[in-house]
Amino acid sequence: MSTKRNALGRGLSALLENANTDITSNQLEGEGKGKVVGAVANIEISCIETNPFQPRTHFEEDALNELAGSIKEHGIIQPITVRKLGYDKYQLISGERRFRASQLAGLTSVPAYIRIANDQAMLEMALVENIQRENLDAIEVAISYKRLIDECSLTQEQLSQKVSKQRSTITNYLRLLKLPVEIQLAIRTGDIT
């Protein structure tokens, strides 16, 4: 008679004790990069850190409070997007306004898509998602383009392909960063358009 005990009846963890099921964004490259890992998951807000690559630097307090009120009334209609950093640790890719408003609304968890993304893919997704909204100011867009070029070692031509903008548009945005700080500030506040 064998002394080895069968896994049957010992729970699911006995069957999976040698399986590596904790996929983080750092483990997958190539084909898996950028893909959604599964369906929408409810993630504790305390387990999510903000996106260090967030191109948006200013969040209107009144607009956040209005969104928080809407979230209290109707819930979060569009899930945020995160990447997994480790066990119960996530980093926001997109949806920071919804994330902040959820905190204001007193939620403890939020619905989220979990994507596989390295730093470069995360920066690209955050930039593209925000630029397509067209409510970033021109300086925020220029800074984001500059970060993509510097941190991802891209040429202006490669960047133009990634964000579906003409190379001349990229060049013109980058020129804004050479303006005096006072003029850049006026652009950011909308005094100059």
Count Cβ neighbours within 10 Å for each residue of 149-169 and write b for 16 or more, e otherwise. Answer: beeeebebeebbeebebeeee
Helices 181-189, 138-151: axis angle to 10 degrees equals 120
96 is catalytic: yes
| CA atoms lying within 13 Å on the CB side of residue 107 | 26
Intra-chain end-to-end CA distance of the chain, in Å = 84
Distance (Å, whole) CA 114 – CA 47: 13
Selecting among 73, 96, 151, 157, the annotated active-site residue is: 96
Q: Which residues are catalytic?
A: 96
